[in-house]
Each structure stands twice: as C-alpha cells, then as structure tokens.
Amino acid sequence: MPNARATHLTRRGILAAGGALGLGAVLAACGDEDASKNGGSDSTKAAEKSGPWTFKDDRGTTVKLDKTPANIVAFTGAAAALFDYGIEVKGVFGPTRTKDGKADVQAGDMDISKLTILGNEWGQFNIEKYAGLAPDVLVSTMFDNAGTLWYVPEESKDKILKLAPSVGVSVFDIQMPKPLQRMLDLAESLGADVKSAKIVEAKKKFETAAERLRKAAKARPEIKVLAGSASQDIFYVSGSNFSIDLEYFKALGVNIVEPSAKALKASGGWFENLSWENVDKYAADVIIMDDRSSTIQPADITEATWKKLPAVKAGQVIARTPEPILSYDKCTPILDKLAEAIENAKKVA
C-alpha cells in the first residue's frame, strides 16, 4: 500500500499511488460529550498496569521494559488505532493536520490539539521534541519485510531509535484481519480492556461487515472494482498484491481490476502509472479512490477523460482507505461501503 515498491525504489517512491503508502511522497518530488471522542467510555479506557512489560512485534523483536509504557509516540494512524482502544499517546508523526488546520483523515478521533506533532509530512521528524517527550516506546507500521518503520526518516532513524525501543506492526502482503488483531494485541499489552462490551461489539460488527461483503461479491461477480489514486499528472491503478485492504477484498471474492504484470513490475508489484489520457485503459463498474489528504479527491478531478469514465458518469465512485486505522471500529465502514457499492452497482463497464 505504501507504495513500498520494489527494493530498487526509494521509500518515498513506494508511497505513491495506491498501495498502502501515501502519495505524499510523489506529490512532494473534557465532559461526557468528549468521552466518546477522546477514548470512549470508562469501560474501554486502558486499565492502570504496573510491573514488567514485554511485546514481540512483527519484526520478531521483543521489547522488554520495567513497566508498561506511559509515554508512547506513534505514527499517526497507529496512534489513532490505539486511541480507539483507550490508549493515548504523547506524540505523533505522519499526516496529522491538514493545511486548513483540521485533523487529517489518518488522525481518526484523536484531538490533535492535545498532541505533540513531531512531523506532519514525509521526511519530517523533530528529534529534539521527541527526546523532550521522554518516550518509553515508539510505534509504527511497516510496509515491507525489511522492518522499515513507516514515516521514520531513513537519514535520522539511527538517532531516533537510540532514544527508545520501537514496535513495528506489519501491514505488508497480508490481509486486514491479521494487522487488526496485532494492533489489538498491542493495545491489550498496554492496558486496554479487550473484553469490554464496546470492543467485543466492534469486532462482531467487523465480522458481520466482512460477511456482507462476501455475499455481495458472490451475488455480483460481474461487478469490476478498480482501486485508483490521483495526482496532478498521473492516475495510479493499484494491484491487489501487498495492500491489506485489497488483498482482503479479493479473498472475500471481490472482482478487483488487476494491472498487467509487466506494468506492476515497474513499481515492485504495487500499481501502474497511467497518464490522464489513458485513464480508461481498464474497464470498471466501481472505482474506489484513495482518500488520503496527499491525493486529489474525485470531486476535484477536472480531467475530461476522467469524467467520461462509465463508473464516474454512473456515480459509482467511492472512497478507498489505503492506510486503514487498525481498529475494528474504523475498518468496519470500509467493508460496508464497498459491499453497498457492489450491491447497488449498475453494470456499466
């Protein structure tokens, strides 16, 4: 997803279009009312924990501390997932605040005014601020098998990782349920009550949504779904390999439009670059478009070739979340929206 393209490509390049990674790299070449917003009810808030803490992450690295981490710093999307389980962080890095000052889509329900933002864009990470937070642990996702922590700058990672141990949660070449469970495991280790009614119900709703999508795909196998992402000069078509959402959709039976093997090879298997003149290369009945703030959203696309696409003319374009917030609460709507789109789609391709 992060366009963790091939090993020959830079991390920024990998981010490009439609994989799990952000297109940003390419484009850059309280009262009761607040209770649900800020971590939910008391039943879902993290319980106080004491004593030794240990967690084995997806790199196979086991982090051991004398006590449960209190000062947590995390990639924004990971922080948002932990927040849904009642675990709050001190600082974040990654897309957090939009240009108009609002919370980025990857910030979820967090109150970003209460967070120390160490970096809002690719390559940004304020090490001095990070050190000032006295971090106990750093948490991020990983879009490759090399253990690369997402949005931790390559050029300064050694300095950053010396200040506190790190935990990596893989979102590469696996289906959505696995990283969801891993994030839940991490939250539990940090004190989340994973048996609370709220969390149990959220997981049940996710499973129900998955079954709905499975049934929709089985009933409408003729409906072709294309995953796209837009930049000023390029339209990216994502393949179903590597991205946790598309791999899961495909496993549930969704008819995903796949770029040619030759085209995918150039991006390490993530996506195909198309000029806007060739945006109609692949037929699709439903288009799911990258919702990250670093990409151009459908309503702002002015290209005539885009407007002529059958799916666009039929109003069969919905948002795609290539970097899902890894909580059941946030991933359930993703499945429901796609299921609804397939259920109601007209065959236009």
Q: What percent of the chain has pLDDT over 70?
A: 86
Q: Kindly report the three-state secondary structure assignment for every residue of 126-169.
A: CHHHHHHCCCCEEEEEECCCCCCECCCCHHHHHHHHHCCCEEEE
Q: Are 57 and 168 in contact (CB under 8 A)?
A: yes
For residue 121, give the 3-state DSSP assignment. Answer: coil
Residues shown for the chain: 349
Q: Which residue has the higher pLDDT, 262 or 343?
A: 343
Max CA pair span of the chain: 62
- Region 6-12 average pLDDT: 37
Q: How far apart are CA 203 and CA 256, in angstroms?
A: 25
Band of pLDDT at residue 215, cut at 50, 70 and 90: very high
Q: Which residue has the higher pLDDT, 156 or 45?
A: 156
How far lies 147's CA from each of 60, 172, 181, 295, in Å?
A: 9, 10, 19, 26
Residue 187 has pLDDT above 50, yes or no: yes
For 227-244, what is each residue's pLDDT tens digit? 999 999 999 999 999 999
Amino acid identity of 343? Answer: E
Amino acid 100: pLDDT: 93
Q: How far apart are CA 64 and CA 62, in angstroms?
A: 6
Angle between helices 177-189 and 328-344 (to 10 degrees): 160
Q: Are 289 and 319 in contact (CB under 8 A)?
A: yes
Residue 103 has pLDDT above 70, yes or no: yes
Give the end-to-end CA distance of the chain in Å, rounded to a whole number. Answer: 25
Amino acid identity of 311? Answer: A
Q: Are 315 and 190 in contact (CB under 8 A)?
A: no
Q: Are 152 and 140 in contact (CB under 8 A)?
A: yes
Q: Which residue has the higher pLDDT, 333 or 40?
A: 333
Q: How far apart are CA 45 and CA 228, in angstroms?
A: 37
Q: What are phi and psi of 189, to 5 degrees?
A: -65, -25
Q: How many CA atoms lie within 13 A of 49 on its CB side?
A: 21
Amino acid 263: pLDDT: 87
Q: How far apart are CA 310 and CA 170, in angstroms?
A: 36
Contacts of 111 (CB under 8 A, 6+ apart): 34, 37, 38
The closest of 27, 14, 10, 19 to 294, measured between CA atoms, is 27
Q: What is the DSSP letter of 174?
A: S
Q: Which residue has the higher pLDDT, 14 or 106?
A: 106
Amino acid 210: pLDDT: 98
Residue 143 has pLDDT above 90, yes or no: yes
Q: Are 150 and 141 in contact (CB under 8 A)?
A: yes
Q: Which residue has the higher pLDDT, 34 or 177?
A: 177
Q: How far apart are CA 200 and CA 212, in angstroms?
A: 19
- Region 112-123 average pLDDT: 97
Contacts of 161 (CB under 8 A, 6+ apart): 138, 152
Q: Residue 33 CB: number of other CB atoms within 10 A?
A: 8
